[in-house]
């Protein structure tokens, strides 16, 4: 596993800053109460607080690799619950095929957004329904056995370990089930560099750099990147052309 301090001092969270020392800028974020709106193509749309979700589903721990598209990586123990538990609770309508996720938008608490006004805030992401239902897709409320520090996406975030890190959207406030593939934040800005699917793949270089290897943020070791970030046995069948 990666060193806890290193993991919490090298983050991407553009709402606060474009630099990696996010932990210096997060104090003003208010993380409780934290209502999350769950809606769209579901039978039981609802607003649930992050704490209530934890009480409802309980917590388990998962040690996952996290691979940023910028070719750095870490291995961290998340606590949380599988995303699929949430789907059972809201009951999907049959035409729900994708999910759109959204982060908070509070320029007074996260002033980084005002420094890049050309970005389409609030940060948003998306998954196919079958990707979201995969048992690896995780909702994290903690890391290293503690509640999530703000720089890691407090109080609640998504973790999709076989995709580049930007798919793992932090500080979630909205989950919407939809019929058509939603746009994502990075896809809106640079579709060739950050496509919707964005599975980790060492054989497909980013237009501006190789994805063949990655640097571990704590040790500095450079290691080979694995296809699907090493989770192929669990997810490759999602992408097998029939
Ligand atoms: N809302 C939001 N979520 C986000 C980001 C962001 O800037 N804003 N950055 C993403 C990127 S690029 C990565 S690599 C991971 C990093 O997660 P970590 O800082 O907890 O390791 O968060 C992702 N989630
Ligand atoms: Mo990233």
Q: Which of 165, 125, 174, 170 is nearest to 152 (CA)?
A: 170
Q: Is the pLDDT of residue 193 over 90?
A: yes
Q: Of all protein residues, whose CA lies closest to atom 2 belonging to ligand 1? A: 170
Model-level pTM greater than 0.75?
yes
Q: Is the pLDDT of residue 40 over 70?
A: yes
140, 156 contact by CB (below 8 A): yes
Q: Kindly give the distance from the C-alpha atom of residue 68 to the centroid of ligand 2, in angstroms, as a whole number.
A: 4
Q: Kindly give the distance from the C-alpha atom of residue 103 to the centroid of ligand 1, in angstroms, as a whole number.
A: 11
Give the atom of ligand 1 at the shortest distance from the alpha carbon of 76. 21
170 CB near ligand 1 (under 6 Å): yes
12 CB near ligand 1 (under 6 Å): yes
Residue 180's alpha-carbon distances to 109, 120, 129, 239, in angstroms, are: 32, 20, 11, 18
Q: For the chain, what is the mean pLDDT?
A: 97
Q: How far apart are the first and last CA of the chain?
A: 37
Q: Of all protein residues, whose CA lies closest to atom 12 belonging to ligand 1? A: 166
34 CB near ligand 1 (under 6 Å): no
Q: What was the pLDDT predicted at 241?
A: 80
Q: What was the pLDDT predicted at 224?
A: 98
Q: How far apart are CA 186 and CA 173, in angstroms?
A: 18
Q: Kindly give the distance from the C-alpha atom of residue 209 to the centroid of ligand 2, in angstroms, as a whole number.
A: 14
* Bridge pairing between strands 138-143 and 146-147: antiparallel
129, 97 contact by CB (below 8 A): yes
Q: How confident is the model at residue 242 (pLDDT cuts 50, 70, 90)?
A: low
Q: What was the pLDDT predicted at 172?
A: 98
Residue 36's alpha-carbon distances to 50, 105, 172, in angstroms, are: 7, 13, 7
Task: Tell me the per-residue pLDDT of 157-178, one tens digit each, with 9 for 90 and over.
Answer: 999 999 999 999 999 999 999 9
49, 35 contact by CB (below 8 A): yes
Q: Is 71 helix (H, G, I), strand (E, B) or coil?
A: coil
């Amino acid at each position: 596993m990666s060193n806890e301090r290193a993991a919490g001092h090298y983050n991407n969270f553009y709402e606060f800053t474009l630099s990696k020392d996010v932990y210096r800028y997060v104090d003003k974020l208010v993380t409780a109460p934290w209502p999350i709106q769950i809606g769209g193509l579901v039978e039981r749309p609802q607003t649930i607080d992050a704490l209530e979700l934890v009480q409802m589903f309980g917590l388990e721990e998962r040690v996952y690799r996290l691979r940023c598209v910028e070719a750095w990586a870490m291995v961290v123990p998340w606590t949380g619950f599988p995303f699929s538990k949430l789907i059972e609770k809201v009951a999907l309508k049959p035409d729900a095929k994708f999910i759109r996720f959204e982060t908070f938008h509070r320029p007074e608490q996260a002033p980084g957004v005002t420094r890049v006004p050309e970005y389409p805030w609030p940060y948003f992401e998306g998954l196919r329904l079958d990707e979201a239902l995969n048992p690896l897709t995780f909702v994290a409320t903690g890391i290293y056995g503690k509640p999530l520090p703000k720089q890691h996406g407090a109080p609640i975030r998504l973790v999709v370990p076989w995709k580049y890190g930007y798919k793992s959207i932090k500080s979630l406030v909205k989950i919407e089930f939809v019929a058509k593939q939603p746009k994502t934040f990075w896809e809106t800005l640079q579709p060739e560099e950050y496509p919707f699917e964005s599975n980790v793949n060492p054989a497909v270089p980013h237009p501006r750099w190789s994805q063949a290897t990655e640097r571990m943020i704590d040790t500095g070791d450079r290691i080979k990147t694995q296809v699907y970030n090493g989770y192929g046995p669990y997810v490759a069948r999602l992408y097998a052309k029939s």
